[in-house]
Structure 1
């Protein structure tokens, strides 16, 4: 696997007495779809802001594409890995959606036909091509979140980091954003998402980083995390409701983690019952 980002014994703190991250070592590989989970104050967002150099480690090193983030500016790193804030209004400031999405590529030196193609492609990817002249601030929260994602896509980064991208969205908005991320992942982007929604973790993530009190408690698949009470209880999270129901109902392993898995299990049970009636 192609390693894109490496953390080597990374610690971060505002002072020696107040460490927010403690001795984090991990690698991000091309094609990862990672969820970062943990309780409030566990260090999720602080960890995420190290991926693109918004924060620099006070101890240890973070390397992106083999280069130490301390030697690179955020602007330089944004060509490879970009960060989408939890609140899209923290990064939206232009008068039209087109200008908002064009801002990053312009700062990269693009203009003319190449700039137009980048912006159009990004807006098409999030379904906003027809709204290019609209004012961002009059859009819904879900649309503003899509604008923020399009602004990132226009720079064509290898890695996309998103902090709680579904916060404040209704059910349809959540699905729209997560399905967009799934499409981007399938198109070749590496995705890292900070989230508190374990249902989404089970449905979309391939890998889970579990944070606890500034340390990396566990690194594994969603099933590995949610079938280990010693991990999820310490991290102050709960497995998805489908899994908890399956355990309470006495379903045999592997207990379904998602509604799709539960539907498949029920269909299998129905077939068994029909072919082997009591």
Structure 2
């Protein structure tokens, strides 16, 4: 369990970035983190990672206060995929890049080989194991970063805008990978402005607004019960909007679900 307990943060100028944040993140959750640009959502993840320190409040892992643990210590249980993943890569091959974390953990040579092989297989990067990371496309670089986290047996992984600038095929492949990892027990935390991802994939959504937690609940609750989506820098996904517009229609989290439900209704009408 990761927890932020009454956490506040600023950059030393007295201007609040976050105030009195209380959040618990359990193992095996799939969470979306959203809000307006500059609302502090990336700061939340940097505090969890140990890249920033709270001005007040506590960060806890399994009940232990970890405020003073830096990012290298926390990397044993939480991985981070930057919006530009090439910024976190510095080794000459994909295999060596993925092996770096296990080496720092002190694994044996055989353990490292096994961890890397399993991580590359899980992310479908085995065939590119000898490639030079900067030469990969963005989707492949993301998978290298995810493989690096898997090889360290990470329990949590944070991704910053992972689908921005991607075509629908790359987006679908990435989300399929993350869904599979989540089913195997890994906690996924995605920072995104893509409301379709929140609706279709996330079990829970956290929204930051006015320097604090403005919403914490299911995507359905967010998109059907809140009337301040625009104020929070959000929008309602098309599938949800359409399903809400049709009388006595079920909530649909994706256009695929909406199409299937509409075809079923039309078929029933014909009978």
Question: TM-score, with normalisation over the residues of structure 1?
Answer: 0.93
Per-residue CA distance 1:127-152 (angstroms, 9 max, x = gap): 01111111111111111111111111
2:207 to 206, 210, 214: 210
- What's the counterpart of residue 73 of structure 2? 76
- What's the counterpart of residue 196 of structure 1? 193
Q: Matched residues in 2 for 1:36 and 1:94: separation?
A: 30
- Determine helix, strand or coil for the equivalent of 1:236: coil
- What's the counterpart of residue 221 of structure 1? 218
Where structure 1 has 5 or more consecutive residues not aligned to the other structure, the ranges are none
**Contact map agreement 2:209 2:232 (CA 8 A) in 1:** yes
- What's the counterpart of residue 96 of structure 2? 99
**Contact map agreement 1:123 1:150 (CA 8 A) in 2:** yes
Per-residue CA distance 1:219-251 (angstroms, 9 max, x = gap): 00000000134242221110111222334x433
**Contact map agreement 1:122 1:154 (CA 8 A) in 2:** yes
- Determine helix, strand or coil for the equivalent of 1:219: strand
Report matched runs for 1:1-278 at 5 Å: 4-15=1-12, 17-247=14-244, 249-275=245-271
Cα drift, residue 52 of structure 1: 2.1
- Determine helix, strand or coil for the equivalent of 1:22: strand
Q: Matched residues in 1 for 2:199 and 2:166: separation?
A: 19
Cα drift, residue 17 of structure 1: 2.0
Q: Matched residues in 1 for 2:103 and 2:37: separation?
A: 37
Per-residue CA distance 1:102-135 (angstroms, 9 max, x = gap): 1111111123110000111111111011111111
Cα drift, residue 16 of structure 1: 5.3
**Number of aligned positions between the proteins:** 271
Backbone CA RMSD of aligned residues: 1.5
Cα drift, residue 74 of structure 1: 1.5
- Determine helix, strand or coil for the equivalent of 1:232: coil
Cα drift, residue 159 of structure 1: 0.9
**Contact map agreement 1:218 1:231 (CA 8 A) in 2:** no
List 4+ stretches of structure 1 deviating above 4 A.
none
Q: Matched residues in 2 for 1:114 and 1:229: separation?
A: 49
- Determine helix, strand or coil for the equivalent of 2:206: strand
Question: TM-score, with normalisation over the residues of structure 2?
Answer: 0.95
